[in-house]
Amino acid sequence: MNRIKKVLALAHVIIWTFILVNFTLEVLVNDRPFRPQALLIGLYVFYAHLYTFTKCLNKRKFKTYLWHLTLIFLTGPLPFLLFAFLIGGKFNTWMGFLNYYGDSLSIVIIFIVASTIVGIIQNLIINTVKKEQLEKQVINSELVYLKSQINPHFLFNTLNNIHTLVYTQDPAAPEAMMRLSSLMRYMIYESNASTVPLSIEIDYLKDYISLQQLRYKASPIVDFQVEGNTDTFQVAPLLFIHLLENTYKHSPSRLKPGSIKVRIAVKENQLTATFQNPIGKKSGSLLEEPGGIGFSNIQKRLQLLYPNQHSLAINKNDEIFTAELKITNLHTQIHEKKAQLLYN
């Protein structure tokens, strides 16, 4: 907002400098008589009315505005009259004074109209910028809220599992601690960026899967496959975690190796992420769960991050639940985000 106000102030300086230069050239080059009437009246009326217009109308003080407008209209010619008096100017009769005063009112009206137009334009620009900033703040707040909604039970259970590993002196305890540390570091620090490399997001998912695996004695229950070069793409952080979390939440308590399938594939500028899990008998509603992360929340975040660039398809039968997320034009999205960062 301060930048916009500085730009508007610079525009005022440039315009009035241009007017002053033209006025000076008329006097020096074209040998016109030195008559600063319009300039003196214009400066006073323009900024007195612009200030009143901005302050009063923005606060809907219409009566105050009309009173100030009348005062400006009546006192508009006074700066030049004062200047004329100071340089020794005299008016022969009161009628001559009134005639001059009346002639000056036309200049007052012109600059009142000019300042009104400028005031309307400035208000439109400032209000538009304020609206955009407010919308960005709302979007950022929603994104922060949605990103933070990882199930706290996961962290609680993971710490309990790690405590058991430490207590039994299991060799896997140090690695589990490192993976939890990596996961928390990503959530707290690295996820604050607008985008992260897809490969880092995938590493985060792998850490999550490894920690969830502590709950199961069988071989890895998640079959995780990645296709394509993930180093060349960037995505919003914590983009897939809620979809992955739901595969565990709605699966049976006992799972066979490879029961949960996760596929992330990139081709050209399109990303496809598929999450598939068997359906537990007591899984409840797969789309919404009290206290959990519903698919409506996931859709909302995707709409904020990738408007008109994503699709989330849900497929469910008696045994298998599948969620497939597609994001297109990733390169375009990255450039747009960089441009927004530069603008801000």
DSSP readout, 221-274?
Answer: SEEEEEES-GGG-EE-TTSSHHHHHHHHHTS-SS--TT-EEEEEEEETTEEEEE
Predicted confidence at residue 271, as pLDDT, reads 94
- Domain assignments of the chain as residue spans, ordered by start: 2-143, 148-343
Comparing C-alpha atoms, which of 16, 15, 34 is closest to residue 24? 34
Intervals of the chain under pLDDT 50: 283-292, 332-344
CATH topology of domain 148-343: Heat Shock Protein 90 (3.30.565)
pTM (2 d.p.): 0.57
Give CA separation, 264 vs 60, 245, 261, 303, 327, in Å.
Answer: 56, 15, 10, 20, 11
Q: Which residues have a Cβ under 8 Å from the Cβ of 59 and sit 6 or more positions away?
A: none
Predicted confidence at residue 108, as pLDDT, reads 83
Predicted confidence at residue 159, as pLDDT, reads 85
pLDDT tens-digit series, residues 117-146: 988 888 888 888 877 776 766 666 665 665
